[in-house]
Amino acid sequence: MSNSLATNTNRILSISLHGATLGARFVFIFFLAKYLDPASVGYYGLFTAVVGYSIYFVGLDYYTYVTREILKTPKELQGLLLKSQASLSGLLYLIFIPVVFAILLKYSGWPQYLFPWFLPILLLEHFNQEIYRLLIALSQQITASIILFIRQGSWALASVALMTWDPSSRQLQLVMALWVAAGLAAAITAIWKILKLRMGGWRSSLDWGWIKRGVVVSVAFLLATLSLRGIQTFDRYWLEALGGIESVGAYVLFFGVASTLLTFLDAGIFAFTYPALIKLHQSQEYSIAHRKVNHMYVLTVVLSAGFAWVSWFLLPYLLLWIDNPIYVESIDLYVWLLSAMVINALSMVPHFALYAQGCDKPIIQSHIAALFVFVTATWALSKSLSMMAVPIGLNLSFIVILVWKVIAYEKLTKDNTKTSA
């Protein structure tokens, strides 16, 4: 009973912290649309998309390998794994950052004042994201949620407060400065927590064989992740080409609202379930794991339906408060983006089920196929539907991912049933 009570308490605290983060981000995106012109909101969206995409080049999706490895590694050696991951990332920074900067300077189309913020924000976002994932894997959800709030929620609230009280602060440079400050605070908190875990192996020599094995595993995952993240980066640039930077501003606003669904589901369901699924697979308790997956489906459907109803009811009133005709005229975008996020949320259930069992191939295949579908569908539809081709292409690509992963998981479940019979 005590363990169950502690688990429920931790889940409530984690959901509350994620809810605060979600609420802060939700409020922030509307105040950004209220106080900045749509073009600035659009550039903010392009900037965040490129930062998110660049993380995978310097991180190599190596966490997908480390997460499974660290759960079966003695605490006395866990520090060596993190040291190895950090060493690899340092090398990747030296290789990729000059290339990324050269591409951005030539092709990004950003205002000049955004470029100095790119590297510090990339470094902090990457570090804090990796620590967040590590803490989730180690079942340290409360600390992970605190770090997430500092990293994403605190500066959003600070931005809202300053823009409300001081009209001179209504500029994108202030948002970037607060983002960096919060990232530093989150990083300090993360380092403090890692030191408290007292992992061993920090002074051991790097195991380059282990690193190379991880690179082989993570590079395959990287192709999948770059394909998926590519969809959510190219969509904004494609939209800019079809409708201009102001249309990107509307897209960023509606995407920000719709994507809060995934943040909430991650806090309330996925963050607690997938470490348990990994352990159940390792102990070959397939029937219990399958029941957990089915429970995830039910919760995801119920919460997605509730989110869709509430957000669609509130959105017109929020747009009336923003008082900018561009957003009102583009409200049809939200229907498609909400649909895409619900489909994406449903696909995360078989995703975690497959990942927990080390069945990576269908995950990789589905993401690569989805990128192909997105590019093909958006290109074909853009001639007749213009901007709407982008969110429709997004929906079609996520449908491919959902169907692919569901089929793969059902096949894997049947195979496990035969094996354990």
Q: Left (φ > 0), alpha (ψ -120 to 50) or beta: where does 274 sit?
A: alpha
Q: What is the pLDDT of residues 155-206, one digit of tens each?
A: 999 999 999 999 999 999 999 999 999 999 999 999 999 889 888 888 888 8
- Total domains in the chain come to 1
Distance between CA atoms of residues 354 and 358, nearest Å = 6
Residue 183 belongs to domain spanning: 2-420
Mean pLDDT of the chain: 87
Asked whether residue 347 carries a pLDDT value surpassing 60, the answer given is: yes
Confidence label for 417 from pLDDT (cuts 50, 70 and 90): low
Asked whether residue 3 carries a pLDDT value surpassing 60, the answer given is: no
Alpha-carbon distance values, 240 to 179, 233, 392 (Å): 25, 11, 16
Q: What is the pLDDT of residues 240-286, one digit of tens each?
A: 989 889 999 999 999 999 988 887 787 677 777 777 787 787 777 77
Per the CB < 8 A criterion, the answer to whether 189 and 60 are in contact is no
Alpha-carbon distance values, 206 to 3, 85, 210, 212, 222 (Å): 37, 10, 9, 11, 23
Per the CB < 8 A criterion, the answer to whether 66 and 85 are in contact is yes
Amino acid at site 296? M
Confidence label for 212 from pLDDT (cuts 50, 70 and 90): confident
Q: What is the pLDDT of residues 56-87, one digit of tens each?
A: 888 887 877 887 788 778 888 888 888 888 89
